[in-house]
Amino acid sequence: MIWNETVECMSREEMRKLQSLRLKRVIERVYHNCEPYRKRMQAAGVTPEDIKDIKDIVKLPFSSKKDLRDYYPFGLLSAPMSEIVRVHASSGTTGKPIVVGLTNNDLAVWKEVGARCLTAYGLGQNDIVQVSYGYGLFTGGLGAHSAVENIGATVIPMSSGNTQKQIMMMHDLGVKALAATPSYAMYLAEAMESSPYKREEFNLRVGVFGAEPWTEAMRREIEAKMGIKAYDIYGLTEIMGPGVGYECECQCGTHLNEDHFYPEIIDPETGEPLPEGVEGELVFTTLTKEGMPLIRFRTRDLTALHYERCSCGRTLVRMDKIMGRCDDMLIIRGVNVFPSQVESVICELEEFEPFFFITVDRVNNTDTFEIMVEVKQEYYTDDMRSMMELKKKIAHKIQSVVGIQPDIRLVEPRTIERSEGKVKRVLDKRVFKN
């Protein structure tokens, strides 16, 4: 099912026209209403008259998270405060939170793109959706919430936490879809298994998972545990929260709502635009935002774009599933390591639970790389020899994928703290030593 066929299946040419028109409008808006943007455009020697087509976007300067911090809290608003009806803040995964302001029209756009996502996951009026993203400043809860209401489904506004009650509500109310971070979904899957209810007693069929990177291996793991189909939903506070992108039934990339959020891929080092299909840093320009439009905002997320029509019929551009951001990457003994690589190895090995924690340190001028991982109950024994074998097996597998050998610490199931929101899987002690 497609929520807005006109836009989601629009020809490339029409889409370009729409994007060009909207880009012109948003540039006028920021130039006349937001001093930091005007000054920056003036410094780059660009005026709104220079922007006639979406292609002209490359003339405009970039913006970044730093700008949102520098002009904290409201310096980048392009609408008067009287028109701002809601404020959100980023979860602050990578530092001080940033604040955004939304107008009523911004909220309407958000509901619209959210409805496109849920419809693509096969959800409709007759379904019950439990929103277990945190409600509050974080965009996850309220963002998913209004999308559910917009398609006319029933929303259970659970927020995160209180895991036993989450399971009870899912069971008792016949919840069909769960919206949560993949790491919280994994925690809930585990809690479902040890609950008094049998899996067949749940009506759960669909997962609406996002807000953090998750691998294909993790997807299969959650799908098998919960007996559902799990879909990706992508978003970020600065641009709009959940609903910027979504998977369709083909699950061959994440469609971006490019009539509202124009994507580009650039080389993160040079800032040069990269061609279709090449991986680089994702950059967004909000084409219709009123409260706090962002022009060429550098997300730090790494992905590639694909423009050919999808087998689902949608023409909206697709990006590869995001496996990490530039700032997630660890450099250990000179080797680039992404936590997602470790995740995929662990999920693929039968003997381990999909929970782990990486600690990096520097001892005697050498980087240390420790991974704590849970062994499944049936494999956990007091027999040193078998535990040593397990250690060797996983260390070897990880080395073959990331290129360096980790120190493995095997622990019993449920030792590692479970996440109810965005999971934190890395402690880099080196940052305190510089």
Residues at the interface with ligand ADP (CB under 6 A) = 90-94, 210-213, 232-237, 299, 301, 322, 325
Q: What's the closest the beta carbon of residue 261 comes to ligand ADP, in angstroms?
A: 12
- Compute how many residues bind Zn ion; rule: CB under 5 A: 5
Write the CB contacts of 209 (distance below 8 Å, at least 6 apart in sequence): 179, 180, 181, 182, 185, 219, 222, 230, 231, 232, 233
What does 312 interact with, of Zn ion, ligand ADP, none (CB < 5 to 8 A by kind)? Zn ion
Structure tokens at 187: 């925690």
Write the CB contacts of 352 (distance below 8 Å, at least 6 apart in sequence): 346, 373, 374, 375, 376, 379, 394
Decide if 322 contacts 214 (C-beta within 8 A): no
Q: What's the closest the beta carbon of residue 388 comes to ligand ADP, in angstroms?
A: 35
The correct pick among 76, 189, 248, 337 for binding Zn ion (CB under 5 A) is 248
What does 301 interact with, of ligand ADP, Zn ion, none (CB < 5 to 8 A by kind)? ligand ADP
Q: CA nearest 299: which of 259, 256, 345?
A: 256
Of the two residues 19 and 181, which places its CB atom closer to ligand ADP in the complex?
181
Which residue's entry shows tokens 């959210």? 114
CA angle 145, 180, 67 (to 5 degrees): 75
What does 102 interact with, of Zn ion, ligand ADP, none (CB < 5 to 8 A by kind)? none
| Window of 5-13, 20-28, 241-249, 354-362 that interacts with Zn ion by CB under 5 A | 241-249
> Distance between CA atoms of 434 and 426, rounded to whole angstroms?
18
Q: What's the closest the beta carbon of residue 34 comes to ligand ADP, in angstroms?
A: 21
Decide if 430 contacts 363 (C-beta within 8 A): no
Of the two residues 32 and 306, which places its CB atom closer to Zn ion in the complex?
306
Q: What's the closest the beta carbon of residue 22 comes to Zn ion, in angstroms?
A: 23
> Distance between CA atoms of 429 and 49, rounded to whole angstroms?
50
Which residue's entry shows tokens 């709502």? 257
What does 234 interact with, of Zn ion, ligand ADP, none (CB < 5 to 8 A by kind)? ligand ADP
Q: What's the closest the beta carbon of residue 139 comes to ligand ADP, in angstroms?
A: 6
Q: What's the closest the beta carbon of residue 119 comes to Zn ion, in angstroms?
A: 12
Of the two residues 3 and 234, which places its CB atom closer to ligand ADP in the complex?
234
What does 310 interact with, of Zn ion, ligand ADP, none (CB < 5 to 8 A by kind)? Zn ion
What does 195 interact with, of Zn ion, ligand ADP, none (CB < 5 to 8 A by kind)? none
Of the two residues 190 and 301, which places its CB atom closer to ligand ADP in the complex?
301
Q: Which long-range contacts (CB under 8 A, 24 or more apart) does 88-94 make?
A: 88/137, 88/138, 88/139, 88/142, 88/237, 88/241, 89/137, 89/138, 89/237, 90/236, 90/237, 90/238, 91/138, 91/211, 91/237, 91/421, 91/422, 93/422, 94/65, 94/300, 94/327
Indicate the residue type of 43: A
Decide if 155 contacts 148 (C-beta within 8 A): yes
Residues within window 82-141 making contact with Zn ion, judged by CB under 5 A: none
Q: Is 319 in the site for Zn ion (CB under 5 A)?
A: no
Decide if 223 contacts 182 (C-beta within 8 A): no
Of the two residues 41 and 68, which places its CB atom closer to ligand ADP in the complex?
68
Structure tokens at 312: 């689902």
| Window of 22-30, 159-167, 240-248, 262-270 that interacts with Zn ion by CB under 5 A | 240-248
What does 351 interact with, of Zn ion, ligand ADP, none (CB < 5 to 8 A by kind)? none
> Distance between CA atoms of 40 and 60, rounded to whole angstroms?
9
> Distance between CA atoms of 221 and 207, rounded to whole angstroms?
12
Q: What's the closest the beta carbon of residue 431 comes to ligand ADP, in angstroms?
A: 17
Q: What's the closest the beta carbon of residue 159 comes to ligand ADP, in angstroms?
A: 15
| Window of 138-146, 243-251, 403-411, 419-427 that interacts with Zn ion by CB under 5 A | 243-251
Of the two residues 176 and 300, which places its CB atom closer to ligand ADP in the complex?
300
From first CA to last CA, the distance across the chain in angstroms is 53
Decide if 394 contacts 345 (C-beta within 8 A): yes
Of the two residues 236 and 410, which places its CB atom closer to ligand ADP in the complex?
236
The helix/strand/coil state of 93 is: coil
Of the two residues 306 and 414, which places its CB atom closer to Zn ion in the complex?
306
> What is the contact mask toward Zn ion in residues 288 to 317, using x (rule: CB under 5 A)?
----------------------x-x-x---
Q: Give contact residues for Zn ion (rule: CB under 5 A).
A: 248, 250, 310, 312, 314
